[in-house]
Structure 1
Amino acid sequence: MTEDLAPKTRGLQNSLASAFDVAIEDALAEGRIAGCVVLVAENGKLVYERAAGHADRETGRQMQIETPFRFASVTKAFTTMATLKLIEAGRLSPEDKVTKYLPKFAPRLADSSIADLRISHLMTHTAALDYRSQQAADGPYARAGVSDGLDESRGSLDANLARIASVPLDRAPGEGWRYSLATDVLGGVIEAVTGMTLNDAIGALVSGPLQLSAAFHWSEEDLAVPYHDGKPAPVRMAVGVELPQRYSEGTGVRFDPDRIRDATAWPSGGAGMAGRSRDVLTLLESYRTGSFLGDDLREAARKPRVGAEAQAMGPGWGFSWLGAVLIDPASTGSQWSNGSVSWGGTYGNWWGIDFAKKRTVISMTNTAYEGMSGRFAQSIAAAAAMPLS
């Protein structure tokens, strides 16, 4: 196993700390991840932190607590929080029509009528949109040249929104849950409401007030190098690599690891940021403890908006504005509390909030997809759900 920073438990029960340690050490020893940072906050205090493995295996650069990562869909939490701050300020409503802010974003239904698309549909992934990676290679998004926000950096956010809107919807908004580019559209709404770029808007609404380093452009050389699943060890990610979906029949996710260094890349509100593990922990803990949003909006953000039929993270998981929400703990076989919220990022990240345990866990790796949905992520989630006593 590679050398790593000594884990700091800071009061976390030894059995829980051991469970996190075992998950990390097994994944490194078995070559399932290249490196990781895991942080655990309990009752408002940091109780566990560990950096292990490599940030850059080929040069021998070790992972550090402050190593930044490409966020992928962890970005969604930042875009959602910016949206909630605009709602709190009375500048936006979940019931507003999207065309109020984006007049040209008016996708049509199969009968050629304009869909009644609301902000709430974007926030819950019930907008009847899709991801290109979830469609066939010659699917409608591919034919329209739609980018999922992880690959194509040329052009503008407005241009990609126009391409998305040009594809007819296969259902009416509100008729079922499907993970999609809805959060990218939400980013366009934020730009329209604030009159700022999405990077500046999230900076003003979220990152600045909370003193976070997360951003849509990262020029420093300290980013963790991205890898993807491979045998006998993770494979260094090349520009343009396409990884088959684990849980979808689509063609797969296309990656451009250099996108985050391109200052001209358009900002993807669903996948485009980079930052440190502490940025994510601070954001989610500020939300959980009530120091960032008022009580009414905090409750509204975690409220199940789509039932267990969504299976957002498998059986028993519905969906809220913030992410997947556990509504049937018995069906999951885990010890997560009812109402817990969780999500991840395809570059190899995962986070979860257990409100009953007052516990927030951030797990950032540089290995897709193991760190997001593989055995490592599952082991970290299982450790995070262990009882307090």
Structure 2
Amino acid sequence: MVAYRRAAGFADRESQKPMQTDSIFRFASVTKPFVTAAVMRLIEDGVVRLDDPVTRFLPDFQPRLSDGSVPVISIRHLLTHTSGLGYPFQEGSDGHYRRLDVSDGLDQPGLSLSENLRRLAAAPLTAAPGSGFRYSLGMDVMGGVVESVTGGSLRDAVRKLVTDPLGIVDTGFAVADVERLATNYFNSESVPVRITDGMVVPLDAFNGSLTFAPSRILDPNSYPSGGGGMVGTAGDVLHFLETIRLGGGPILKPETVEMMATDQLGPQAAAWGPGWGFGFGWAVLADPHAVPSPQSPGTLHWAGGYGNSWFIDRANALTVVAMTNTAFEGMSGKFVSDIRDAVYN
């Protein structure tokens, strides 16, 4: 049962186009749970195993440690962000990823997956696989694994394994209706600034910056980024997350959902700040007092750089989705904690 649903503000400020409940949003990292669900289906089917080496599927993907050795990166490492990979937005302008022109999956329209993985593999790993949590392009690599396993595109795999069984039609790696696509903005101190291709936005939490290209989703030659390439509606995200909250059927088995919802790393991972561990596809609240948060231990949460956030508090039978077109306020600003606190108060 949906207890509350509302659209507010503008889908496009310049034209005063109002936001609608079926407006379409660029997901950024809200993509990751959908792709993770597809991977877990493949694991259920026995075609992929968590401890398989990535080279079983992508023989040429062999990034090295700083000493020149090639460690084993597993599927588990990719899914839990413990592969030793990183993101360009975590670096300064002279970082290895920046120099190699690695894409975060949100820029460089028309770039192919094979080329981005080639660039990524040429950069040294930041740490040995399995040694700790570092948010990364692992899910983009995972997209390459899915394509290798299925023999098709990541777009088709997510549609077949996740969205089609749920009857979801507005969410995927292409825009179902451009007229409903919300324009994206950056929350400057005065008024929101419209995000244009090539705009570099400071990301203070990582002491770095993120380069956006909103047109990327409209270019069919852009690779389907498993970490950030999807679009869709708030209703579709809610439907998917409610499926997870209620046990996973028809896309996943209950025991698979339980594994995904179990903290794999412990609160020391600080996957979404103090108190947050990480499962498969999302952060898991290990210590509410460390946040602090009114949410129950075991609450699942994730968000996306274009301005989206959600959580599932299974103990309280709650699923909350807030999709905005404002980076980064809608991802990690006061708006997110205000929504959370309003739900519990």
Which residue of the partner structure matches residue 288 of structure 2? 329
Which residue of the partner structure matches residue 91 of structure 1? 47
1:344 maps to 2:331: no
Instruction: Return the alpha-carbon distance in structure 2 between the equivalents of residues 353 and 160 of structure 1.
Output: 33
What aligned pairs does 1:144-223 form with structure 2 within 5 A after superposition? 144-212=100-168, 213-218=170-175, 220-223=178-181
Distance apart, 1:155 and its partner CA: 3.1
Which residue of the partner structure matches residue 266 of structure 1? 223
Which residue of the partner structure matches residue 113 of structure 1? 69
Which of 71, 82, 85 is the aligned partner of 1:129? 85
Instruction: Return the alpha-carbon distance in structure 1 between the equivalents of residues 80 and 277 of structure 2.
Output: 10
1:139 maps to 2:95: yes
Deviation string, structure 1 residues 268-303 (Cα, Å, up to 9, x no partner)? 010111111111111111122122311211110011
Distance apart, 1:108 and its partner CA: 1.2
Greater Cα shift, 233-242 or 64-73: 233-242
Distance apart, 1:144 and its partner CA: 1.2
1:318 maps to 2:277: yes
Instruction: Return the alpha-carbon distance in structure 2 between the equivalents of residues 257 and 222 of structure 1.
Output: 14
Unaligned runs of 5+ residues in structure 2 are none
SS at match of 1:244: strand
User: Would you say how many aligned residue pairs link Structure 1 and Structure 2?
Assistant: 341
1:239 maps to 2:187: no
RMSD: 1.1
**Greater radius of gyration (CA):** 1
Which residue of the partner structure matches residue 8 of structure 2? 52
Which of 289, 303, 310 is the aligned partner of 2:246? 289
Deviation string, structure 1 residues 91-134 (Cα, Å, up to 9, x no partner)? 11111110011111111112222111000000000011000010
Instruction: Provide the identity percentage.
Output: 47
TM-score, with structure 2 as normaliser: 0.96
**Match for 1:256: what amino acid?**
A
Q: Which runs of 4+ in 1 moved over 4 A?
A: none
Which residue of the partner structure matches residue 4 of structure 1? none
TM-score, with structure 1 as normaliser: 0.86
Instruction: Return the alpha-carbon distance in structure 1 between the equivalents of residues 242 and 44 of structure 2.
Output: 18
Which residue of the partner structure matches residue 56 of structure 2? 100
Matched-pair contact (CA < 8 Å) for 2:27–2:306: yes
1:355 maps to 2:314: yes
Matched-pair contact (CA < 8 Å) for 1:322–1:341: no
Distance apart, 1:168 and its partner CA: 1.5
Matched-pair contact (CA < 8 Å) for 1:285–1:360: yes
Distance apart, 1:375 and its partner CA: 0.9
Instruction: Return the alpha-carbon distance in structure 2 between the equivalents of residues 338 and 231 of structure 1.
Output: 35
Which residue of the partner structure matches residue 65 of structure 1? 21
Distance apart, 1:311 and its partner CA: 1.2
Distance apart, 1:330 and its partner CA: 1.7
Instruction: Return the alpha-carbon distance in structure 2 between the equivalents of residues 231 and 338 of structure 1.
Output: 35
